[in-house]
Structure 1
Amino acid sequence: MSSYNRRQFLTGTAAVAAAASLPLADGRFASAAALDRALAATAARAVRVEGTTLAQVAEPAGAGPYKRLQAGPGWPLVVRDELAPRGVRRAAARDGGRTALACFVQFTDLHLADTESPVRFEYLARLVDSAHRPHETLTVRGASSLVERVNALGRGPYTGAPFSLVMATGDNTDNHERIELDWYLSVMSGGRITPSSGDPARYEGVQNSGNAEFWQPESAANDVYKARGFPRIPGFLTAAGRPFTAPGLRTPWYTTVGNHDDSVEGTLPDLGLLRSLYTGDRKLEGCDSAEAAALADALRTDPGKAVERVAHLLRTAGPVRRVTPDPRRAPFTPAEFAKAHLDPRYTGAGPAGHGFTPSAVEQGRLYYTFPVAPGVLGVSLDTTNRAGFADGSIGTAQLRWLESVLRSHSGHWYDEDGRVVRGRGADEPVVVFSHHTSTSMGNLLPDPYRPFEKRHDGGALAALLQRFPNVVAWVNGHSHENRITPHGHAVPERAFWEVNTASHIDYPQHARVIELTDNGDGTLSLFTTLVESAAPYRADAADTSEAGLAALYRELSYNDPYATPAKKLGSARDHNTELVLARPGAR
């Protein structure tokens, strides 16, 4: 074997391996031998797989309700050619002509959480799985461990090209607070962080309240989480809130806004009604079942009514805990969100503003263009709706702006009647970024800050993108799931891939490396490779070092009793893939 180079090995084995190692319809592999063959073919096609899920992946081990994690076999590359032109060449031929066009990383749904904030809904955890997570005191450390992984990787596994940027596709904060925004900017750019609010000398949240509905990690008393095998960890909350130094990304980074960066708990409109409660001294730690059900229903159906219920509960219900007031918990406006990115303290690896400009601050406009790589355009959209609800949409002004941007970077496109329109530019590949997915943009309520502007759903946005053959990918988050969707089967000329990646707060806590290549045969490939944080797989309850806490963050997230890790993982067809499509201008 040592006498073969990578290309020779691929040529000699890929034909046999491909036939025997393709995943089944549900994305699983028929046998361990088939998986091994697929991993061998994957390694042969890659420059380097170490440090990615191509090499190894966390997997549960042991019996009982609480599972430990360990290193499992990697996830092999799956070729998806649903959008490829007819007669596409075999993988070996594509590899021989491959030229890297772009290589970047997607972070999404970090949800850096101020768990001591008075405006949180932990008491709804049984009804709303995102209301409370047993590991959420560790979100800042978990995100920093992900940064460590990206810094260590540095390059794409298939092209070997250095990362040009990291894009965080929204829900960077959990509850729209200034202190959470400071933590996010510090994690990305580097610096000293104290992941605690209120009194820095003590934790003031539900996890030392004595309420048995929540995991009480430092207490010997039983609770519903310990009944499921959660450990007791003396000193856990103190360790979680202690200061640490985040290394920051060595790669330039950009930010896309998400609904949790825009509204109360990602769901309620920020109309200024709860501001005094955010910065006040009353934290509700429970309510009766009827009140909880009524609030959960209002969150799903009537944001205005939900705001009223939250304010009412904080003033009248119990148990209410007195916490240390903190003005840093105040919510931020869209203009303040953009302005914070322009602060020189957070420039880090750059660029200044991380996509936002002084004019964006003046207008509160959170969408922009940027270079993904030379000759590859990135477009970051704002799909949030400040009327409330978690799902999003896009306003008419932004949709028109997007169309004008795409026209200026296209050699040709289609009008609304399907006729070809010739432009003056070249067909420059375009990657679109947003927080919401095509199926989670059905929130057409009028934006209270632009009440007369029409809102448009994900179908309208997808239809616009399909009019421009140079749009190759739409990269997004929000769902907390790995899912890759082809758009435009019927007309390959107008096809693109939608790449949706799981969150970094819920298990499996993934980020994604995306490499765009020109295959030299009239096709492009998008290689999508999932990566985990730098934390050890095996957690130790006695280890509250930085690495130990990051490992606990992952293990606790897997065991969250209200989470659905199997759903969020996605299938092999949503993990490490080669997504083939026609090159713009050659379709």
Structure 2
Amino acid sequence: MTGTRSAVNRRHFLLSSGAAVAAVGAGWPLAALEGRTGPALVRPSRAAPDPVRAAVPAQALHEAPRAAVRRPAPFGLTTLDTTARISGSHGYRRIVQGPGWPLAVRTDLAPAGSGRDTRRTPLACFAQLTDLHLADVQSPLRTEFLRTRSLGSWRLQEALTVPGAVALIEQVNALKNGPHTGRPMAFAMSTGDNVDSNLTIELQWFLTVMSGGRITPNTGDPAHYEGTQDSGLRLFWQAESALRDVDKLRGMPYIPGYLEAAIRPVTSPGLAVPWFSTPGNHDALPGGCLAPEDPQLRDVAVGGLKLLTVSDADAAAYAKVLNTGDDPKSTVFKDILTRNAAKARTITPDPDRALFTPHEYLTAHLDPAHAGAGPAGHGYTQDNLNDDLLYYTFPIADGVVGISLDTTYRSGHFQGSVGSAQMDWLERTLASYSALSYDADGHVVRNAAADDALVLVFSHHHSPSMTRRRDAGRPEEDRHDGQDVIDLLSRFPNVVAWINGHSHVNKITPHRHAAAARSFWEVNTASHVDYPHHARVIELVDNHDGTLSLFTTLIESGAPYRTDLADLSQTGLASLYRELSYNAPGLPEAMSGGVRTSSAGTATDRNTELLVRRA
């Protein structure tokens, strides 16, 4: 598959051409960095005792030349400059351009030394994407029928996940440099829930969005949409019909041609930088919570019956086990499908909707057709494939290492955990990068043979969403929750941050150990499928005063803020995608200045400078 890498970022064009109102951004001067090299950092090279390591070309994530470090990020590409806001108090609310969010300096773990902005050395710069949820909305495995209990159980915007994701890729490509350091973007990490229903076609869409190419976001009938939105049911937004459905009663618009446009081909430029992938529960499990590799569910996924409505009793029964996770074999869901088969809608079967296994997930990532900007496998190697292991390490920059974890259950549950085998691997890997650490009793451990490096940890689940429940897919193995992971990471003072998603909320949490040096930040980023449609740019710098700073800057997609309901082009659909999500029912209504703070987070969870002591 091929695609151009010269796509125009429409919102940046409008901002830079003066067609939109300028907002004041924030950034640190870097002129004083001229000539400073900072302390020598050793590029990790020695193999740890058996961790899986990503094969990355040596030049891919190399230290940027000094001349390149000082290029400023273009104005208008981050939420430091401008943000999407909701206008109006009721009905269908439109997106408008709002002012940017200021930088919040957080000193929970270390003091902010004066003059640090004049002596910093940039160490790393990358983007975090999370919870894209690329969705085949016509899949028979979807559970839209839960909307009988809650309007928020079905997303208005899901038919547009592909053009919405492409607009985010365009924004990352346009940004090029960190907004605070000017350091070139080295890579992007997608921290899971890349797809929505564990379908092969969704995985192909994700890999093409990331690596570049043409995507037709349609399954079944090649010429017609066959989902909820042409069903004639008042329960769902019938965008092309005059029917007064429940969403039009809330003010949702009538858009002729919407469904035809939603299934038209989309072209992604692909990321212009290397990208890595971390698995989420929706990548591993049908619907993010159903039993994997189940014969009945496999047949339903590729079949020709799609269930749209059920009785209140059936919806309540499924919602109960969905919340508790006490049905690892998905018996309740399968019984509902069987019991209601006669009332299901007949659709076109499609083998491309087949469920994929972890082995197939790895194989697809390693396919040269999806290499894009690299690296081959996007973090995964042939060793991962041989052992069906979805965790690995990779070099981020000189003296900075990334660790990607697999926090998914192999049996049906949306929560996360880490198995004992992976936990042991994580401990060995951390020890191999830390010349100074602590054992479980708090005693100092020195390792002269370690490749001393700063460590950033990535996972899908955040610490509150991880449990110790047994995994029916691996019943012999003990499981570890978020607190167990925090306790382990706290033993290694070179761990700077744990970066994750899953919650669909922006939240940044300090984890402080009794020993001040043993502290790190947990950076949890909201999704790009639900409000507020965010990703992050993360920059790591050395302040040369015994502290490091981690800058976290939220970014939105490159789609224009203003949505023209008559514009059904790829760019127009990307704008509509965001506006529909901002109007989704069921979201908390507590708002301030057009911002739902419950999902967007507070000011200290958005654009931040996070200080931490350097061990």
TM over 0.5, yes or no? yes
Partner of 1:413, secondary structure, is strand
1:94-117: per-residue Cα shift (whole Å, max 9, x none)? 111110100000000000000000
Structure 1 residue aligned with 2:18 = none
In the alignment, which residue of structure 1 is the partner of 2:83?
A: 57
In the other structure, the counterpart of 2:614 is 583
Cα distance, 1:204 vs structure 2: 0.5
Contact 2:409–2:473 (CA under 8 A) maintained in structure 1: no
Q: Deviations over 1:2-56 (max 9, x none)?
A: xxxxxxxxxxxxxxxxxxxxxxxxxxxxxxxxxxxxx868346585453100000
**Residue of structure 2 equivalent to 1:78:** 104
Q: Please point out which of 256, 268, 284 is paired with 2:307.
A: 284
Q: Which residue of 2 aligns with 1:27?
A: none
In the alignment, the residues of structure 2 paired with residue 220 and residue 127 of structure 1 have an alpha-carbon distance, to the nearest angstrom, of 24
Post-superposition shift, 1:252?
0.2
1:397 has 2:421 as partner? yes
Instruction: Indicate the residue corresponding to 1:569 in structure 2.
Output: 600
> Which residues in structure 2 correspond to 1:25-36 (within 5 Å)?
none
Q: Is the aligned partner of 1:427 residue 2:458?
A: no
Deviations 1:78-131 (A, max 9, x none): 00011005xx412xx111111010000000000000000000101113546774
Runs of 4+ in 1 over 6 A off after TM superposition: none
Does structure 1 conserve the Cα–Cα contact (< 8 Å) formed by 2:88 and 2:94?
Answer: yes
Cα displacement string for residues 349-388 of structure 1 (whole angstroms, at most 9, x for unaligned residues): 0000001111211211000000111210000000001222
Question: 176, 183, 202: which one pairs with 2:205?
Answer: 183
Between 1:339-348 and 1:296-305, the stretch displaced more is 296-305
Aligned partner letter, 2:470: P
**1:313 Cα deviation from its structure 2 partner:** 2.4
Distance in 1 of aligned mates of 2:356 and 2:119: 49
Letter of the aligned partner of 2:317 in structure 1?
A
Q: Which residue of 1 aligns with 2:387?
A: 363
Which secondary structure does the structure 2 equivalent of 1:42 belong to?
A: coil
- The alignment status of 1:102 with 2:124, answered yes or no, reads yes
Please identify, of 503-512 and 313-322, the stretch whose mean Cα deviation from structure 2 is larger: 313-322
Give, in whole Å, the separation in 2 of the partners of 1:327 and 1:196: 13
Q: Is the 8 A contact 2:538 2:550 kept in 1?
A: yes
Residue of 460, 465, 475 corresponding to 2:499: 475
Q: Which residue matches 2:286?
A: 264
Counterpart contact for 1:125–1:562, Cα < 8 Å: no
One of 358, 361, 375 as aligned partner of 1:334: 358
Instruction: Give the direction of change, closer, same or farther, for the CA distance of 1:350–1:78 in structure 2 (3 Å limit).
Output: same
Take 1:96 and 1:304, find their aligned partners in 2: how far apart are those partners? 57
Name the aligned partner's letter for residue 52 of structure 1.
T
Residue 293 of structure 1 corresponds to 316
Match of 1:241 in 2: 263
SS at match of 1:537: coil
Contact in 2 for aligned 1:387/1:446 (Cα 8 Å) = no
> After the TM superposition, which residues 460-499 of structure 1 pair with which residues of structure 2 at under 5 Å, given as runs?
460-488=484-512, 490-499=514-523
User: Equivalent of 2:135, from 113, 123, 142?
Assistant: 113
Deviations 1:48-84 (A, max 9, x none): 4531000000001124222101000000000001100
Helix, strand or coil for the counterpart of 1:104? strand
Any gaps of 5 or more consecutive residues in structure 1? 1-38
Change (3 A) 1:508 1:404: same
Deviation at 1:534, TM superposition (A): 0.4
Distance 2:107 2:597 in 1: 25
Query: Which amino acid letter does the alignment assign opposite residue 580 of structure 1?
Result: L
Q: 1:173 to 1:105 in 2, by over 3 A?
A: same
Is the CA contact (8 Å cut-off) linking 2:110 and 2:611 kept in structure 1? Answer: yes
Match of 2:219 among 170, 189, 197: 197
Q: Which amino acid in structure 1 is aligned with residue 206 of structure 2?
A: Y
1:206 and 1:62 map into 2 onto residues whose CA distance is 28
Instruction: Report the Cα distance in structure 2 between the residues aligned to 1:138 and 1:41, rounded to whole angstroms.
Output: 30
Tell me the equivalent position of 1:376. 400
1:402-448 Cα offsets, whole Å, 9 max, x none, are: 11111111111000110110012253100000000111101x33223
Q: Percent identity?
A: 55
Q: Which has the higher contact order (CA 8 A, sep 6+)?
A: 2
The match for 1:254 is 276
Where does residue 241 of structure 2 map in the other structure?
219
Q: Secondary structure at the match of 2:470?
A: coil
Tell me the equivalent position of 1:309.
332
Shift of 1:301: 2.3
Give the Cα separation in 2 of the matches to 1:272 and 1:366. Answer: 21
Match in the other structure for 1:11: none
The alignment's C-alpha RMSD in Å is: 1.6
Q: Give distance in 1, aligned partners of 2:294 and 2:179.
A: 47
Give the length in aligned residue pairs: 541
C-alpha distance in 2, partners of 1:244/1:260? 23
Whether the 8 Å contact between 1:259 and 1:384 is mirrored in structure 2 is: yes
Structure 1 residue 302: deviation in Å? 4.3
Q: Does the C-alpha gap of structure 1 residues 221 and 130 become closer, same or farther in structure 2, counting only changes over 3 Å?
A: closer
